[in-house]
A and B are shown apart, each in its own frame.
Chain A
Amino acid sequence: MKKTVFFGALTVAGLAAGVAAAGTLDDVKARGKLNCGVSTGLVGFASPDANGRWEGFDVGVCRAVAAATLGDSDAVNFVPLSSKTRFTALSSGEVDMLARNTTWTLSRDADLKLDFVGVNYYDGQGFLIPKSLGVTSAKDLDGATVCIQTGTTTELNLADFFRVNGISYEPVPVEGNAEAQKQYLAGACDTLTTDASALAATRAAFEKPDDHVVLPEIISKEPLGPLVRHGDNEWGDIVRWSLNALISAEELGITSANIDELAKGTNNPEINRILGTEGSMGEMLGLEANWAMNAIKAGGNFAELFEANIGESTPIGLSRGLNALWTDGGLIYSPPFR
């Protein structure tokens, strides 16, 4: 008898493991919380503030998705993940989505079985170096000791850049951003390399940011975006269109200030469709009619999120550049809400 119970339990456990793969939206709704994988602490993108509340540009995406699915931008468990553990955490279902400065590459898409749903920041790999060394170009770095975070695409780009330019370097692999900063400031390496946005964020946290400079060369394309697991396309659609809602909101002039006004109805049918007063966009995604409105209210539209977290008025001071709307000469573009 006991044996039967034991094998019964095993069977149930086996079945449960099989079912957990699909229906992420149902899981999130049942849990009442979105599990969102973020960086372990990168000022401006994802870091806890003085009160322990997670803030940042990537965190904003998590909050928008939580607001769209659950109607509450605070219904998020932020799971800080290192660059090494992030994909395993996503594949195993420990988190529902990743918004963690992750570069969209073919092998991650196809081989690691992940789905990138869009790009929220177009980045490239750069070098941070003390001004006192007098280096003005990355090509002058022959023989330099380079601090680099392991388990990232930057490692491969760095090897390629130095090989193509026929110069040598000494890699010092470090585990995370905090460790990289420490090694760099102690002078254990001459230069620190990672995505230029992250370098700007790291530099902003230094005691004397002006003593350090980001070299002009950008040695790679690093489109950073949120991603989900392969195999649950409904969930992928929700994350994709939550991001697109933020971008379209900027394009159509929907801000957190005027959103309530616009939600009463406007002459612009696309605004009406986004805000759910016209059509059935929410229903198609399996969400409430006001899903996009919640997403935009969570932290404002794309421009508001950018300016509040990493824009020129913040210590990180990134200009929009490539990350301006397509109408302003940038690459940020949302497919239409139709």
Chain B
Amino acid sequence: MTTMTDPPKASFRLSMLLYDTRYRSNTIQVVVLIGFMLGVGWLLNNVVENMAASGKTFNYGFLGDKSGYDINQRLLEYSSQSTHLRAAVIGLINTLLVAVMGCLLATFIGVIVGVLRLSHNWIISRLAAVYVEIFRNVPVLLWILLIMGVVSDSLPQPKDFRGENATATMSLGDSVAITNRGIYVPEPLFERGLGDVPVLGNSFEVSLDLMLILAVLFTGLFISSKIGKRANAIQAETGVRPTVWWQRLGIVAIPVLITLYALGFYLGYPELKGFNFKGGTYLRSSLIALWLALSLYTGAFIAEIVRAGINAISKGQSEAAAALGLRPGRTMNLIILPQAMRVIIPPLISQFLNLTKNSSLAVAVGYMDITATLGGITLNQTGRELETILLLMACYLAISLSVSAVMNAYNERTQLKER
């Protein structure tokens, strides 16, 4: 006969927290957590006490005050009569601009160089290797300063374009002026433009012309992709692909051209007036230097990531593709790169984040990003170090987390679907 008896319930004693392995790890964690909180609390307390001692308060009221300074590159309306908050927004947009431009160019450079580095052509693969090694082993700040120095010292000044014996001339049929202050290119203008509408209580204006053109363009692209899908379906069914490229081109291009004509599209050419070129769009030398330096620097890292991604695909894949009769170019585009993307994207995300954060070096060449406006001039003129730096950190954190979120979503889509 068997008797079922519960094991004797050991009563809980305090010493078990230390000697019983069931509780010990929890005890250690709690102690460490308390220590950590005490450390953080002490730091915060120190800040509060020191600010009180120096008679400063913590508040963001200054953001509503007039900024009093001008910003050269502003994509939204801004003047010295605007607020510090607006100056920060202008800076934030400049940061985003250079970050997006940088990420695009860096990816372009990185993919090309990464593929070239695996080329069987000795010279090409060596050249790619030299590029990678030079750019990723020198601090990006030096590249920014070097490119800025080259731009401002070697390109002609605006005054060189003036007078009878001008030493510099405009390129591309007098439409583009390359100067040491920046590159002036023609700008699109509309004779019968629709004007701008204020959004969000006059805080910024949206160009109706641009919106209309974008709407027409995206509708065209949408219909074009439908045509493409139909062609795919027909090909799958009958094995013969109908020729649709002219339909797809037409459905995108013709409505856009009609819209442009209706709006009275023309180009405003830059012209030398007074000290500088007037008219046209102006790509400042500081933006060019920062953009090129960040892209070339980050491109070198991306090239290595791409190379690693391609090397990670087993050789059998390309051999199988060759056995099917695919040419090397199509093998790369259809077989290797789509699979390599799964390896490439996760490290690519951190390179994008690096590029965005490195853009805060802009202040070295006088590019007015958010570090230069909010964390530079605003900080100086208001003397609110703690507030501005915390806000600045929050901005970069928000940008980085958004980039991560978008790229992670893309990563999810490209990952191997296991069924």
Contacts and interface: CB of A to CB of B under 8 A. Distances in A.
Interface stretch (B103-111, B324-332, B360-368): B360-368
Contact of A155 (B69, B278, B285): B69
A187 B180 contact: yes
A231 B157 CA distance: 51
Given A111-B383, A159-B70, A188 B285 contact: yes
A166 interface: no
A98 to B, nearest CB: 14
Contacts of B286: 172
B56 A150 contact: no
Interface string B46-60: 100110011110000
A170 B376 contact: no
Contacts of A183: 152
Contacts of A162: 70
A155 B368 CA distance: 14
Contacts of B81: 163
Contact of A145 (B42, B70, B181, B382): B181
Interface residues of A, number: 48
B287 to A, nearest CB: 12
Interface string A75-93: 0000000011001100100
B165 interface: no
B74 to A, nearest CB: 11
Given A112-B383, A155-B377, A142 B274 contact: yes
A50 interface: no
B42 A173 contact: no
Contacts of A190: 275-276
A151 B157 contact: no
A84 B376 contact: yes
B383 A87 contact: yes
Contacts of A205: none
B409 to A, nearest CB: 37
A173 B366 CA distance: 5
Interface in A115-147: 132-133, 141-145
A174 B286 CA distance: 11
Given A113-B56, A171-B72, A133 B42 contact: no
B180 A171 contact: no
A329 interface: no
B273 interface: yes
Interface residues of B, number: 43
Interface in A236-270: none
A189 B284 CA distance: 12
Contact of A174 (B56, B273, B366): B366
B80 interface: yes
Task: Classify the secondary structure of A's interface with B.
Answer: mixed
A253 B400 CA distance: 65
A145 B55 contact: no
B71 A171 contact: yes
B28 to A, nearest CB: 15
B136 interface: no
B289 to A, nearest CB: 11
B101 to A, nearest CB: 20
A160 interface: yes
Interface in B58-90: 68-72, 79-81
Contacts of B54: 21, 91, 113, 230-231
Given A150-B380, A183-B152, A188-B180, A156 B69 contact: yes
B153 interface: yes
Contacts of B79: 163
A156, A187, A230, most chain B CB atoms within 10 A: A187
A150 B372 contact: yes
A151 B377 contact: yes
Contact of A143 (B49, B181, B278, B382): B278
B385 interface: yes
A143 B276 contact: yes
Given A163-B80, A173-B368, A143 B153 contact: no
Contacts of B342: none
Contacts of A18: 49, 53
A53 B80 CA distance: 41
**Residue picked from B50, B286, B383, most chain A C-beta under 10 Å:** B383
Interface of A: 10, 14, 17-18, 21, 83-84, 87-88, 91, 107-108, 111-113, 132-133, 141-145, 150-152, 155-156, 158-160, 162-163, 169-175, 182-183, 186-190, 230-231
22 contacts: A14-B42, A21-B53, A111-B383, A133-B159, A142-B274, A145-B275, A150-B372, A150-B376, A151-B376, A155-B68, A155-B69, A155-B381, A156-B381, A159-B70, A171-B72, A172-B72, A172-B181, A174-B366, A175-B363, A175-B366, A188-B180, A230-B54
Interface of B: 42, 46, 49-50, 53-56, 68-72, 79-81, 152-153, 157-159, 180-181, 273-276, 278, 285-286, 363-364, 366, 368, 372, 376-377, 379-383, 385
Given A151-B381, A186-B180, 6 more contacts: A133-B159, A141-B275, A145-B276, A172-B181, A187-B180, A189-B181
